Structure 1
């Protein structure tokens, strides 16, 4: 069964950064993607993410509201809301 897509809302973009808010209903996903830039995520809500990774690996990542983390260019994954409530985070890509 296909998962519903999350919603991405562009908040700001200029020559240096792109800032988007991602909102997920329970079970929603980003779809497979590869990050073309270094990026920083800040959780808006509690986030329980199921991360599907290349080669079939999966893992759970949990973040409290306000938590932040950074990842480098080239990360490939599908992010799924594995919780029972909507989740949101803001992603800032460093161009």
Structure 2
């Protein structure tokens, strides 16, 4: 699970949740929508549904921009703390899969 430390404007819909994983669709309906600050308590996989970019603000306030392509996944490690926002002028979305199994 993610521990949320702030409220964001992005929309999350849990599609699947069981004792092994959670699958969430994250939508950013408009520019500057964000997830809110959160810490990933599990390793996770993100699959973008569209081409676009996301701004990732880390715990130190640094911002990096990720260029994402539809269907091209990336892997994130447990313990990551960040706020994710969309600078796109269109709705952006991705699927996030959190793995609950211990390594």
TM-score, scaled to structure 1 = 0.93
Counterpart among 5, 8, 22 of residue 9 in structure 2:
5
Q: Does 1:19 align with 2:17?
A: no
* Aligned twin of 2:90: 85
SS of the residue aligned with 1:29? coil
Partner of 1:66: 71
Give the TM-score of the pair, scaled to structure 2: 0.86
**Match of 2:4?**
none
Please, which runs of 5 or more residues in structure 2 have no aligned partner?
1-7
Unaligned runs of 5+ in 1: none
Q: How many corresponding residue pairs?
A: 93
Contact 1:47–1:88 (8 Å) recurs in 2: no
Q: Supply the RMSD in Å over aligned alpha carbons.
A: 1.3
